[in-house]
Amino acid sequence: MRPTGPDSLAITAPGIAADVTRCLTGASPGDSTAAYDAAQFKPIRMTGLTCGDNCYIDFIEQTEGAADSSALCTAPQCADWFANGALPPDLTLGIVGAALRTGTQVDASDNVMTTDFPTITAFGPPDTPLPGTIAVPPAADPDLTDINAQMEAAAQAYDAARFKPVRLSRLQCDSECLIAYGPQLEGTLDGLAHCAAPECADWIAAKALPDGFRRTVVGAAFAADPAADGLPVITAFGPPDAGQPAQRLPLPPGTYVDSQLSCGDAPHAGLREFTGAGFNGPATRDCTFYAPKRDGDSFRGIQTCTDTDSGTPSTTPLTVTLDGDLAFTLTEGPDDTRSFAFCQGD
């Protein structure tokens, strides 16, 4: 495919030569704007930092007609960026997803200037298309009833990711400091890596990971070739871009309660937290639901999670059936089917 104009492409392949033009009679600009406004992680391009009384992320929203913008940032990654006075260079080269909310802006004397200043609260994979992109329907997936095939699909997504999800645990310092990390993929073992990312210089000098990075999941970019001693090399950190759901469910993120209980008196085991990517349970976090198979309102696939206590990854079959806009039924095993409804705070 080769762009021949703002709304046209030239497509060539064996036996095929065609010029195509984007159809302008489909979705209106208002539809695109509504999808962007509803997105949990909006696509933005970060351009730099500006620091005065506060530090701000400078960015451009990837939507029609967007201008340069700035926002406060309470996401965990921003603390080190602000301390270093710069973004990691690789993060200015691509598109990231940002949860944009509002927060309190104060001056140098801690006087409140406004309580509704734009604020980035988290980063994640963008969940709305970029303007002008051509949506290609996915090829029909086979009926993935074989868990080995499902795990292989997850491994392929992990291998293809630029920023792979890993759990950082510690720095191991002897003659040099190495990062201990655990890939968030079942069947993979924890390992050690050299770190050439800009953040690591300060960590190695202090011989410790910052509190915000210990035992949490971050995205790590690895060099194509290992170091001379055979260990991998981490070259940059960013929002993880592996483990995105194959199909995003039309459910609002939030807490859901067993339909037989109420939010106020439900035990922890009777709650599920839908993050927009997966269903966190009473003993799991960072869950991601892959749904290659859909039958009406039922989505069938696998879910990968991290055990809250041990930090080990797991992969289990899961079926999600929508029971309306604010309810669903989870089938997590042959004898484990439960219904949940959005927790309204009762």
- Residues 209-245, buried b or exposed e (16+ Cβ, 10 A)? beeebeebbbbbbbeeeeeeeeebbbbbbbbbbbbbb
Q: How confident is the model at residue 164, as a pLDDT?
A: 84
3-state secondary structure of 289: strand
| Residue boundaries of the structural domains of the chain | 29-124, 162-238, 254-342
Q: Judge whether 194 and 178 are in contact, CB under 8 Å.
A: yes
Single pTM value for the model: 0.41
Q: How confident is the model at residue 27, as a pLDDT?
A: 43
Q: How confident is the model at residue 244, as a pLDDT?
A: 47
* Amino acid, single-letter form, for residue 138: P
3-state secondary structure of 159: helix
Per-residue pLDDT of the chain (346 residues; tens, 9 = 90+): 454 444 455 555 444 455 555 544 444 445 556 777 888 888 888 889 999 889 999 998 887 777 889 999 988 888 888 988 888 876 776 678 888 998 889 888 888 899 889 999 888 777 766 554 444 444 444 444 555 666 676 677 778 778 887 888 889 998 899 999 988 776 678 899 999 988 899 899 999 888 767 656 678 899 989 998 999 999 988 766 654 454 567 788 888 999 998 888 888 889 999 887 789 998 888 887 876 667 888 888 777 788 888 877 777 788 899 998 899 999 886 678 999 999 865 4
Cα 226 vs. chain centroid, distance in angstroms? 26
User: Structure tokens of 181?
Assistant: 């990390």
60: DSSP letter: E
CA 150 to each of CA 8, 132, 281, 340: distance values in angstroms, whole numbers, following the listed order: 37, 32, 21, 25
3-state secondary structure of 253: coil
- Does residue 336 come out as left (phi exceeding 0), alpha (psi in the -120 to 50 range) or beta? beta
Q: How confident is the model at residue 180, as a pLDDT?
A: 92
Among 100, 135, 131, smallest CA distance to 31 is for 131
Q: How confident is the model at residue 149, as a pLDDT?
A: 64
Concatenated DSSP letters of 10-27: EEEETTEEEEEE--TTSS
Q: Judge whether 19 and 9 are in contact, CB under 8 Å.
A: yes
Q: How many whole angstroms separate alpha carbon 82 and alpha carbon 85? A: 5
* Amino acid, single-letter form, for residue 62: Q
Q: How confident is the model at residue 199, as a pLDDT?
A: 86
Q: Judge whether 178 and 192 are in contact, CB under 8 Å.
A: yes
Q: How many whole angstroms separate alpha carbon 188 and alpha carbon 175? A: 27
Average pLDDT, the chain: 78
Q: Judge whether 263 and 346 are in contact, CB under 8 Å.
A: yes
Q: How confident is the model at residue 223, as a pLDDT?
A: 92
The pLDDT tens digits for 207-249 are 988 876 765 667 889 998 999 899 999 998 876 665 445 456 7
User: For tokens 């001379």, what's the residue?
Assistant: 228
312: DSSP letter: -
Dihedral through CA 38, CA 40, CA 46, CA 48, nearest 10? 110
| Secondary-structure percent of the chain, ordered helix, strand, coil, rounded to 5 | 15, 45, 40
Q: How confident is the model at residue 20, as a pLDDT?
A: 56
Q: How many whole angstroms separate alpha carbon 10 and alpha carbon 260? A: 56
Dihedral through CA 123, CA 95, CA 290, CA 300, nearest 10? 110
Q: How many whole angstroms separate alpha carbon 82 and alpha carbon 88? A: 11
Residue 6's φ and ψ, nearest 5 degrees, are -65, -25
Q: How confident is the model at residue 266, as a pLDDT?
A: 85
Q: How confident is the model at residue 177, as a pLDDT?
A: 93
Q: How confident is the model at residue 140, as a pLDDT?
A: 43
